[in-house]
Structure 1
């Protein structure tokens, strides 16, 4: 996973996740599909917010002034790691919010680079995806070549 990517959401992450069943002849990104993705994104966002709350409580409850410098250093490192994780999640929450806004504006599910359908299964695996798999792969190849 590149530094800029977000963790994938999957059935194991979301409670009560049910893959969307595409009906024969169904139009891509119709209202039921948009509602399906709004539900996934909202659940994901809520789970992330619960983690933020847990972190705040953990930092408040477990903050201790250990007399041993090694114990203090261990605790500071643990807190630092937890705060970095929450910062990444805060950025992810912003991306989720902007994705929900894209759904509201009927601008969701199509590749930002080439305009083709991203696909239901790819969006279920990565609901914030804004590129089809081909364009994303090309971006990653370019990134490797140029060391960006």
Structure 2
């Protein structure tokens, strides 16, 4: 797997320099690019939804409704992602980016490179998922 040279440079920085200006600038740039990409795709999805609703021909209604349902789900997912990206950009500005919202410990560059919007360290995320799994089992969801 080819590693982005800029990301590799960040990974080579000493731990004491965690979330320095260069790292914050890297993630800000990456998040802004992802935000622009999601916004553009969301416009495409919304246009497809609007075009679908205006379709006046006698297409199979079940197929049209299924396509519309999938487009709405996609728009919902991307709207939530856009909100999460904007929250993450605010955390960069506020100085909390890169630190676990639960423990205050560093999330880690490896995790942030894979998921720049991560708010929890890997350990905290695993605990959260175990709690959610336990809760859903106790409710009988599974």
TM-score normalised per structure 1: 0.79
Contact 1:110 1:116 in 2 (8 A): yes
Distance 1:31 1:24, change over 3 A: closer
Q: What is the SS of the residue equivalent to 1:114?
A: coil
Aligned position for 2:20: 30
Alignment of 1:72 with 2:61, yes or no, is yes
Q: What is the SS of the residue equivalent to 1:127?
A: coil
Once the two structures are superposed, residues 65-118 of structure 1 have per-residue CA deviations (whole angstroms, 9 ceiling, x without a partner) of 2325xx122112101211121112111111110110110111110111111110
Aligned residue runs from structure 1 range 1-148, under 5 A? 18-22=6-10, 23-25=12-14, 27-62=17-52, 63-68=54-59, 71-147=60-136
Distance 1:54 1:122, change over 3 A: same
Where does the alignment leave 5 or more consecutive residues of structure 1 unmatched?
A: 1-10
Contact 1:111 1:118 in 2 (8 A): yes
Q: CA deviation at 1:60?
A: 3.8
C-alpha separation in 1, matches of 2:29 and 2:74: 24
Distance 1:98 1:24, change over 3 A: closer
Q: CA deviation at 1:21?
A: 1.5
C-alpha separation in 2, matches of 1:53 and 1:74: 22
C-alpha separation in 2, matches of 1:87 and 1:145: 27
C-alpha separation in 2, matches of 1:105 and 1:20: 25
Structure 1 vs Structure 2 CA RMSD = 2.2
TM superposition outliers: structure 1 runs of 4+ over 6 Å = none
TM-score normalised per structure 2: 0.82
Where does the alignment leave 5 or more consecutive residues of structure 2 unmatched?
A: none
Aligned residue pairs: how many?
Answer: 132
